[in-house]
Amino acid sequence: VKNKPVAIATWNDGVPANQAAWQVLSKGGRALDAVEAGVRVTEDSQNCCVGLGGNPDRDGIVTLDACIMDDKFNCGSVAALERIKHPISVARAVMEKTPHVMLVGEGAQQFAVAQGFPLEPQTLSADAANAYKEWLKTSEYKPVVNIENSGNQKKVGPVGGPQNHDTIAMLAMDAQGNLSGSCTTSGMGFKMRGRVGDSPIIGAGLYVDNEVGAAAATGQGEDVIRMVGSHTVVELMRQGLSPKAACKAAVERILKIKGDKAARDIQVGFIAVSSEGEVGAFALQKGFSYAVCDAKDQKQLINCEYLL
């Protein structure tokens, strides 16, 4: 018997996001609608590191990445999108209303505006403005391991932003047993202008194969891209691994590629759900939390197991 409906999302922000997803899932709605509605909550919250409230690039401009994938291999993505509040919904519009999978930069913004998304002012949230001011003192790009213990948000990071991660990824299975996933981020703070991470890359930040399962990533995007993280997790599940074991094996691969020493400077976390509705996750380092929501309990927040 499948455990459905179910939603799993990254970090502490996954809890309120899951609850918005649950509004859709508990009424028999589609997983696709649930994962969009869920992460829109996080994109909306100005004091969080996702969406327009997130940290800017090193030129002081917030650029957003997002992608979405449904149960039929339909997918849509935007990268380096500026001044649009809900990149996840633009990604969905790319999926549903264009012949393409991915739009970037100016073209993505043009498309969003043509679709009726309001163009927001180019400003920084108070937290991001402070963080940027601090960062300018050294202007050193040095990402720090993402940490967020449940119930105890540590103010760590290159510049002490409100939380030192900037992504939410969500996977859901609906009452029909279909899977979908979403991922949205402002990317690594103080990145080079034009830098795109794993989050909007189908296969890296997110992958869904309805017959096998779905996976998503958070953490150092460059290291997720080079081993095509989320697709790797799904393929490991296809070989029979449980969601947690598949996430762990993918993290082990990152450790092998990076080597012991360099791996200590990064964080990567994967979440996964199987086609049976079993959920699991694994992280490289301590401090990754994820949220699970099902009929039993809609507010589970779990400190993820880790390798190092």
Catalytic residue IDs: 167
Name the segment binding ligand SD4 (CB under 6 A); options: 85-93, 215-223, 240-248, 278-286: 215-223
Neighbours of 130 (CB within 10 A): 15
Query: DSSP of 149-204, one letter per residue?
Result: BTTB----SSS--SSS--EEEEEEE-TTS-EEEEEEE--STTPPTT---STTSBTT
The answer to whether 188 and 221 have CB atoms below 8 angstroms apart is yes
Pick left, alpha or beta for residue 292 (phi over 0 → left; psi -120 to 50 → alpha; otherwise beta): beta
Residue 288 gets the label, from left (phi > 0), alpha (psi -120 to 50) or beta, of: beta
185 touches ligand SD4 by CB under 6 A: yes
Query: Least distance in Å: CB of 204 to ligand SD4?
Result: 9
**How near is the Cβ of 167 to ligand SD4 at its closest, in Å?**
3
Report which of 59, 117, 50 is spatially closest to residue 84, judged by C-alpha positions.
117
Footprint on residues 108-167 left by ligand SD4 (CB under 6 A): 146, 165-167
Question: What span, in angstroms and rounded, lies between the C-alpha atoms of 90 and 67?
Answer: 9
Q: Are 144 and 164 in contact (CB under 8 A)?
A: yes
Count of residues in contact with ligand SD4, rule CB under 6 A: 13
Q: Which stretch binds ligand SD4 (CB under 6 A): 34-42, 194-202, 235-243, 297-305?
A: 194-202
Residue nearest to ligand SD4 (CB): 221
Q: Which of 221/243 has CB closer to ligand SD4?
A: 221
Burial class (CB in 10 A: 0-12, 13-18, 19+), 104: middle
What is the distance between the alpha carbons of residues 296 and 211, in angstroms, rounded to a whole number? 25
51: left (phi over 0), alpha (psi -120 to 50) or beta: left
* Candidate list 54, 197, 203, 243; residue touching ligand SD4; CB under 6 A: 197
Based on the shown chain and the rule CB under 6 A, indicate whether residue 187 belongs to the binding site for ligand SD4: yes
Measured from the CB of residue 72, what is the shortest distance to ligand SD4 in angstroms?
25
CA–CA–CA angle 190, 195, 199 (5° rounding): 100
| Residue 199 in contact with ligand SD4, rule: CB under 6 A | yes
The residue among 89 and 199 lying less far from ligand SD4, judged by its C-beta, is: 199
User: What tokens were used for 283?
Assistant: 């992280």
Four-residue CA torsion sign, 31, 249, 262, 144? positive
Nearer to ligand SD4, 25 or 145 (CB): 145
* Least distance between ligand SD4 and beta carbon 145 (Å): 10
Q: What radius of gyration do the chain's Cα atoms show?
A: 17
- Contact range with ligand SD4 by CB under 6 A, out of 74-82, 105-113, 154-162, 213-221: 213-221
Helix (H, G, I), strand (E, B) or coil at 247: helix
Task: Tell me the closest approach of the beta carbon of residue 285 to ligand SD4, in angstroms.
Answer: 12
Minimum CB distance to ligand SD4, residue 165 (Å) = 3
Q: From the list 221, 243, 277, 287, which residue makes contact with ligand SD4 (rule: CB under 6 A)?
A: 221
Q: Does 77 bind ligand SD4 (CB under 6 A)?
A: no
Residue of 150, 184, 218, 285 that binds ligand SD4 (CB under 6 A) = 218
**Among residues 4 and 165, whose Cβ is nearest to ligand SD4?**
165
219 binds ligand SD4 (CB under 6 A): yes
Nearer to ligand SD4, 50 or 173 (CB): 50
State the residues that interact with ligand SD4 by CB under 6 A: 146, 165-167, 185, 187-188, 197-199, 218-219, 221
